[in-house]
Amino acid sequence: MKKLLLLFSMVVFALSSAQYDNINAGESLTYRIHYGFLTAGSATLTTSNATLNNKPYFYVKGVGQTSGAVKAFFKVNDVYESYINLYGQPYFYVRNVAEGSYRQHLQSTFNHVNQTVYLVDKKNTDRPAKTINTAKSVQDMLSSFYYLRNLDDDQLKVGNVIKMNVWIDDEMFPFQLRIAGTENVSTKFGKINCLKIIPSVMSGRVFKEKEGVTLWVSNDKNRVPILIKAELTVGAIKASIDKIAGTKYPVNFQK
């Protein structure tokens, strides 16, 4: 029986890989984080196949940490996890962050049939778990990146606007992503042609303007996020690609 279950899981994994035709399990992307002129830390995104409650999922893990001088006065150790089903929908999402004296550990379980999220606060155990209404096709903060990367070419044409519902912390936000154009972006590996994408976000809470965030993704089959810039209420932050491994297709930089 155990061998039959293992074989079944392998078959489902093989089928479920079609949810992300251009993304490998085993991909690893590392970004260098800059705050103004300072190198503030790093962030790494990794993918793998995983099993949760005896079901196979595409598993994404994001880890962010401060380093150097910034770490000396403001230490960050953030972990994000997302288990994504074979339909490209998040099933279980974890946000476990330590930022200075601030701590948060939230676990969100999605029910896409009922359009609800079951939220558990693992840090504040006196806070009761609750079920929250969401919307159709909701994505979490991690799965939204991979959803965007897997859209077809017609959806990512310059001028198009993509609408998404994104689960952040303990509530859902409607986002719009505008494909603003294409640009050549300089990196440590060389230049690469990218799609320039501008998400519309809520201003005032964190970001300086409604369109204070800009994302550049490689204009190829991989659609790897290459550069992210955000204007914050205090200063600006930038994340630039630092390491790439395990992509399904070669990433062609021009020297």
Distance set, CA 246 to CA 43, 52, 86, 133, 138 (Å): 17, 23, 20, 37, 27
Q: Indicate whether 70 belongs to any domain.
A: yes
Residue 13 pLDDT > 50, yes or no? no
Q: What does residue 102 show for φ and ψ, rounded to 5 degrees?
A: -85, 135
The pLDDT, as a whole number, for residue 70 is: 77
pLDDT category at 58 given cuts 50, 70, 90 is very high
This prediction has a pTM of 0.86
Q: Indicate whether 252 belongs to any domain.
A: no
Q: Indicate whether 254 belongs to any domain.
A: no
- Asked whether the beta carbons of 89 and 58 are under 8 A apart, the reply is no
Q: Residue 160 sits in which domain range?
A: 2-245
The pLDDT, as a whole number, for residue 11 is: 35
The pLDDT, as a whole number, for residue 210 is: 52
Q: Domain tally for the chain?
A: 1
Q: Indicate whether 182 belongs to any domain.
A: yes
CA distance 191 to 8: 43
The pLDDT, as a whole number, for residue 3 is: 37
Q: Tell me what the mean pLDDT of segment 144-151 comes to.
A: 91
The pLDDT, as a whole number, for residue 201 is: 60
